[in-house]
Structure 1
Amino acid sequence: MAENSALHTAMSDKNDEFYTLYSDIEREMNSYIDFNPKVFNGKTVLLPCDDPEWSNFTKYFAANFERLGLKKLISTSYSKGAGNKQMTLFELGSSYYDEEKHSTKGKLFVLEYDKDNSGTIDINDIEFSGYLEGDGDFRSEEVKKLRDEADIIVTNPPFSLFREFMSWLNESKKEFIVIGNMNAVKYREIFPLLQQNKIWLGTTNPKEFVVPEILSTRNNMYTNPDGVTFAKFGNICWFTNIDHGLRHSPLLLDTMKNNLKFNKKLIKKLKKTFGKTEYVKYANYDAIEVPYVECIPSDYDGIMGVPISFLEKYNPEQFDLIGRTGNIEWAESDECDFFIPPTEDEKLIYKQQTKTWRVQNAYYVDEKGIANTTYDRFFIRRKMKE
């Protein structure tokens, strides 16, 4: 929880900049290229809020421009006044450079052809194409036009604006690969898109980001011997609507009987937490609690509550994603036909036991009659073979 709090605080601070590691970008992009070698071929890629001299996104796509077969690479960046304190050599060496506009306007960079006649299109061919009318905010009309010109959008957006950014992406109907907080899968704006297979998670999980300028010290930061400061985060993932092989790799699972007999981790959890030797059913949902993804029984046909980390291995050809805990409107709707509401007397008892108890959160009742709420859960059901 402390780590997630640090993430929220850091990524919500407009004065903080976190740069994605080149190796993390390369590893994630390779997943799409391996699945479809021509995924970027002939495409215009937009990198919003992205200074080419400092961002590894621009460095990666510029270095691989020809290998990927890109048509055009567009990068935009925020103005100095909006948080960007650094000058790019692309800007400084350009006839477009304006000291005043550097502080107040966003910037536009384009890579499209072999400008220096070196025989290769690379980062040296990036052109500073002038200043934007505004500060580079992705919500501006001018950046929207660039979005509409692009085929694929790739970036690490402001985490505090992630909901808005995803709406901005979905409005465009464009392909995208973006970094986000894993907890975003629970957002009302995000979960339905996951459920409908309009978006899904990528294949990797970035663990560290470079901090170019330390404006505050946090426990999750450290500086290496070269003087580079890193911020360590957990619970980070990629969101995308571009297909990759992991989505089609079935989870290798065992039967319920074998899990209960041989899975020591599950056996220990059931005994310690529930005092049981079998899978526990929720009191308010007709579904079983599966505490670990690897413990999903391969032969259970009913509904199961699984950790949200399940999405990292979710194969829509193997399971249906039915719903999630924490949504009372959905639980009480006709769409959820397995919700078991407690009686009014039970509600009073459970609220007296635990102030944080909520009827929409999955819970089980122990032998003492105490309602114990689980962590956030997604409800899934195994697809039946035809």
Structure 2
Amino acid sequence: MAGNNSLTKAKANKEDEFYTQISDVEKELKHYTKHFKGKHVFCNCDDPEESSFWRYFALNFSRLGLSRLTSTHYKESGESYRLDIYKDVPESEKHKPTFLTLEGSNIELPLGYITDLKEDGDFRSQESIAILQECDIVVTNPPFSLFREFIIQLFDYQKDFLIIGNQNAITYKEIFNYLQSNQMWLGANYGDMAFKVPDHYEPRKTRFWIDDFGQKWRSLGNICWFTNLDFKKRHEDLILYKKYTPDEFPKYDEYDAINVNKVAEIPYDYDGIMGVPITFLNKRSPEQFDLIGIDRYVPDNPHYGKRFTLNNKEVYARILIKRKASK
């Protein structure tokens, strides 16, 4: 059984090796610079030789005012290592400095300190959890197949975070509970994102290509950021222009809420409960709308666990919202 578990874990990690572009990291991180001053950032799914997260924080270490940067990554065979950059280097680390040269360039990252790990560097390992307990903010692209487990761990240890995930994770019961209770929200950017993938990655029929340098790429159209770090853009109200009519916004067969097919068509004059696409969360202002629930798991759904229907046809995932009363 242990052998089977190891094989399954190794396979999942191989399929989850998506390397974020530094342009996408910079595009999102610019909204949160005030949160990083004096903080210890932990990139716990990031090989420093490959990771754009590590590159971004290492090159902007002083500008952001970080106190420390740590990276660990899963290594399928053999022991992994951690790499640290300190604002004030501890005496115990002064004997083992190193420079890390970015692959394919002459850029050397700031001085770092390598420490061998006894385990494989998995974010669930005891060594990684020990670092997690010490850090202030986690910023990374975690394995998509383990996203639910990753998020739960962050909340278990009460950490601030900014991570990449698949938009469909919104529909997970545990994930939506965090969103509804305003313990986390979506970041500033969402939609299509291209990732580098390793040589062993198997080609796909769509959204896959190999560039002129032989690098394999995979793009996904439903990527978003999940965070509990506040930023100005999330408090901007959604501009509404559509007027409510019963014909255009019918109610569900067995639930007292109207159906809205497009976020842009949310009526400005309807005060009841509305079912909207999950993409609404990319544009939601907490001062404008309350989150009532998600279709399958709203407590008064007469068919709990199933989606709503219109004319006996199931509707795609819907989030239930209600306009806040005007002040």
TM value normalised by structure 1: 0.73
Higher Cα radius of gyration:
1
Q: For residues 315-362 of structure 1, what are the alpha-carbon distances to aligned partners after superposition, in whole Å with 9 as ceiling and x for unaligned? A: 1110000011122xx43xxxx3xx5x49xxxxxxxxxxxxxxx98321
Equivalent of 1:149 in 134, 139, 143? 134
Whether 1:372 and 2:313 are equivalent positions in the alignment is: yes
Q: Which residue of 1 is the match for residue 214 of structure 2?
A: 227
Secondary structure at 2:293 match in 1: strand
Whether 1:361 and 2:302 are equivalent positions in the alignment is: no
Secondary structure at 1:256 match in 2: coil
Q: Which residue of 2 is the match for residue 187 of structure 1?
A: 172
Q: Which residue of 1 is the match for residue 105 of structure 2?
A: none
Residue 301 of structure 1 and its aligned partner are, at CA, apart by 0.4
Residue 49 of structure 1 and its aligned partner are, at CA, apart by 2.2
Secondary structure at 1:15 match in 2: helix
Q: Which residue of 2 is the match for residue 350 of structure 1?
A: none
Q: Which residue of 2 is the match for residue 109 of structure 1?
A: 83
Secondary structure at 1:202 match in 2: strand
Amino acid paired to 1:140: S
Residue 312 of structure 1 and its aligned partner are, at CA, apart by 0.3
Residue 204 of structure 1 and its aligned partner are, at CA, apart by 1.0
User: Residue 359 and residue 256 in structure 1: after superposition, are their counterparts in 2 closer, same or farther (change >3 A)?
Assistant: farther
Percent identity over the alignment is 44
Whether 1:123 and 2:90 are equivalent positions in the alignment is: no
Residue 116 of structure 1 and its aligned partner are, at CA, apart by 8.3
Residue 213 of structure 1 and its aligned partner are, at CA, apart by 1.6
Equivalent of 2:223 in 217, 236, 253? 236
Identify, as 1 or 2, the structure richer in helix. Answer: 1
Equivalent of 1:303 in 273, 288, 291? 273
Whether 1:20 and 2:16 are equivalent positions in the alignment is: no
In the aligned structure 2, how far is the partner of 1:193 from the partner of 1:385?
25
Secondary structure at 1:254 match in 2: coil
Whether 1:196 and 2:181 are equivalent positions in the alignment is: yes
Q: Which residue of 1 is the match for residue 59 of structure 2?
A: 63
Whether the 8 Å contact between 2:85 and 2:111 is mirrored in structure 1 is: yes
In structure 1, list runs of 5 or more residues that go unmatched: 1-10, 83-102, 261-275, 343-357, 366-370
Whether the 8 Å contact between 1:44 and 1:150 is mirrored in structure 2 is: yes
In structure 2, list runs of 5 or more residues that go unmatched: 1-9, 90-96, 100-107
Whether the 8 Å contact between 1:284 and 1:362 is mirrored in structure 2 is: yes
TM value normalised by structure 2: 0.86
**1:1-386 mapped onto 2 (5 Å cutoff):** 13-16=12-15, 17-33=17-33, 38-79=34-75, 82=76, 103-113=77-87, 123-128=109-114, 130-205=115-190, 207-219=193-205, 220-256=207-243, 277-327=247-297, 330-331=298-299, 336=300, 339=301, 341=302, 360-365=306-311, 371-386=312-327
Residue 256 of structure 1 and its aligned partner are, at CA, apart by 1.3
Q: For residues 279-325 of structure 1, what are the alpha-carbon distances to aligned partners after superposition, in whole Å with 9 as ceiling and x for unaligned? A: 11111111110000010111110000000000000111100000111
Whether the 8 Å contact between 2:25 and 2:53 is mirrored in structure 1 is: yes
In the aligned structure 2, how far is the partner of 1:139 from the partner of 1:167?
11
In the aligned structure 1, how far is the partner of 2:225 from the partner of 2:18?
15
In the aligned structure 2, how far is the partner of 1:62 from the partner of 1:171?
27
Secondary structure at 1:226 match in 2: coil
CA RMSD of aligned residues (A): 2.2
Matched length: 299
Residue 145 of structure 1 and its aligned partner are, at CA, apart by 1.2
Whether the 8 Å contact between 1:246 and 1:313 is mirrored in structure 2 is: no
Q: For residues 200-221 of structure 1, what are the alpha-carbon distances to aligned partners after superposition, in whole Å with 9 as ceiling and x for unaligned? A: 1111125110013233111221
Whether the 8 Å contact between 1:12 and 1:158 is mirrored in structure 2 is: no
Q: Which residue of 1 is the match for residue 6 of structure 2?
A: none
